[in-house]
Amino acid sequence: MKKATAILFSCFFCIIDLFGQSAQPYSFPSFSGYHTLLCDFHIHTVFSDGLVWPTIRVDEALREGLDAIAITDHLEYTPHDRDIPAVDFNRSYEIAAEYGTKKGLIVIHGSEITREMPPGHLNALFLSNSNMLKKEDPVEAIREARKQGAWIFWNHPMWTAQKPDGMAELTSLHKQLLKENLIDGIEVVNDNNFSDESFEIALKNNLAILANSDIHGLVDWSFPAPQTGHRPITLVFAREKSSDAIREALENHRTVIWHAHILVGTQEFLEPLIKASLVVESAVYQPKTSVVSITLVNKSSQDLYVENTGKFTLHNTGPFFIIKAGEKYVLEIKTISKRDQFELALKIVNAYIAPGKNIQVSYLISPEK
């Protein structure tokens, strides 16, 4: 009996320990004087059609190592009205922001303008009063957001509920909004959906690219490991960790998106992020050979899928290899003769600077002999 009781208590405390575990915080290195901040700018609570209280969104973000979130409850869709009357559309932000301030998380005031396509759904960030956006004409609602100084982006243009073929495309109304400078960014990733077409629209129309969760339920249930491992995250390169600095970075399109196992961004910001993430720790020729051992360190939270594209072949692996997040990898290169310097050229197979186009990085290696 005592033995059975001991086993039961042991199982009980194991279960407590399991549910008490924290998620592994994610991180990416900073570079060029910028702080790399992990952000999610599309989040719902029970104040619209989400399933959790605003403070839960703060705790979830902190468990994952996020630096900032935006609470963006719907203005036009509030199915919990019977229990939580939609009286003040600022309230979910206020609750989360007060709690976030105590916990050290930046919470940005946002709302989702929720309309049929076109224009579909748009998020307005850095608002002062969400209630003022309740207007019948969606364009007038967007203009009111801009009047408040909001930064506005187009949500899930690939969403099959509004675009059955999943192909993001600009309608005449979106072109009008772009002409009026009323769209600043676009979601290339929303939830588990990725859109090359959204990425192309961003590149052609000078829009910031974003990856957001659009979370309604619990994050851990919606983005379980190992399928995705993490929610979609927008990496923002800000001059400091503050709401104002995040806004300045968004205005200048200093973002890279992290979705599932891939990184997506423009050459301008993805390249320095990769170079800061994948670092050459050492390079030394093996004794009495012309084979150099290069120790590479992955300082990011994302495994990097790498292909050797240089003129020298590899000795200990084929041209393709994986450097695990937070780990080291020793690469052996046959340089034919001992050299003072040579170029290590790599393609990062899971990092894109345009649809279907991988980023290439190179390192000048000066090996010890």
Asked if residue 331 and residue 285 are part of one domain, the reply reads yes
Number of domains in the chain: 2
CA distances from 368 to 310, 315, 316, 334 (A): 20, 18, 19, 14
Burial call 181-216: b when 16+ CB within 10 Å, e when fewer: ebbbbbbbbbbebbbbbbbebbeeeebbbbbbbbbb
Residue 15 lies in a domain: no
Determine the pLDDT at residue 227.
62
Statement: residue 159 has pLDDT above 60? yes
Mean pLDDT of all residues in 31-49:
98
Percent pLDDT > 90 in the chain is 90
Mean pLDDT of all residues in 81-94:
94
Domain residues for the domain of 354 are: 278-365
Asked if residue 222 and residue 124 are part of one domain, the reply reads yes
CATH number reported for the structural domain that contains residue 90 in this entry: 3.20.20.140
Asked if residue 137 and residue 57 are part of one domain, the reply reads yes
Asked if residue 216 and residue 309 are part of one domain, the reply reads no
Residue 7 lies in a domain: no
Asked if residue 202 and residue 285 are part of one domain, the reply reads no
Asked if residue 208 and residue 133 are part of one domain, the reply reads yes
Percent pLDDT > 70 in the chain is 93
Summarised one tens digit per residue, pLDDT across range 172-223 is: 999 999 999 999 999 999 999 999 999 999 999 999 999 999 999 999 999 9
Asked if residue 331 and residue 225 are part of one domain, the reply reads no
Higher pLDDT, 16 or 334: 334
Asked if residue 309 and residue 216 are part of one domain, the reply reads no
Summarised one tens digit per residue, pLDDT across range 97-155 is: 999 999 999 999 999 999 999 999 999 999 999 999 999 999 999 999 999 999 999 99
First to last CA, the chain: 69
Phi, psi of 111, rounded to the nearest 5 degrees: -150, 155
Asked if residue 133 and residue 52 are part of one domain, the reply reads yes
Neighbours of 259 (CB within 10 A): 22
Determine the pLDDT at residue 224.
86
Asked if residue 73 and residue 166 are part of one domain, the reply reads yes
Phi, psi of 299, rounded to the nearest 5 degrees: -95, 10
Closest by CA position to 333, among listed 347, 355, 318: 318
Statement: residue 2 has pLDDT above 50? no
Cα-based torsion angle of the residue sequence 274, 189, 206, 172 in order, rounded to the nearest 10 degrees: 170
Determine the pLDDT at residue 4.
45
Asked if residue 199 and residue 139 are part of one domain, the reply reads yes
pLDDT band at 21 (very low <50, low <70, confident <90, very high): very low
CATH number reported for the structural domain that contains residue 293 in this entry: 2.60.40
Statement: residue 18 has pLDDT above 80? no
Residue 350 lies in a domain: yes
Determine the pLDDT at residue 3.
46
Statement: residue 22 has pLDDT above 60? no
Determine the pLDDT at residue 264.
99
Statement: residue 229 has pLDDT above 90? no
Higher pLDDT, 341 or 85: 341
Asked if residue 310 and residue 168 are part of one domain, the reply reads no
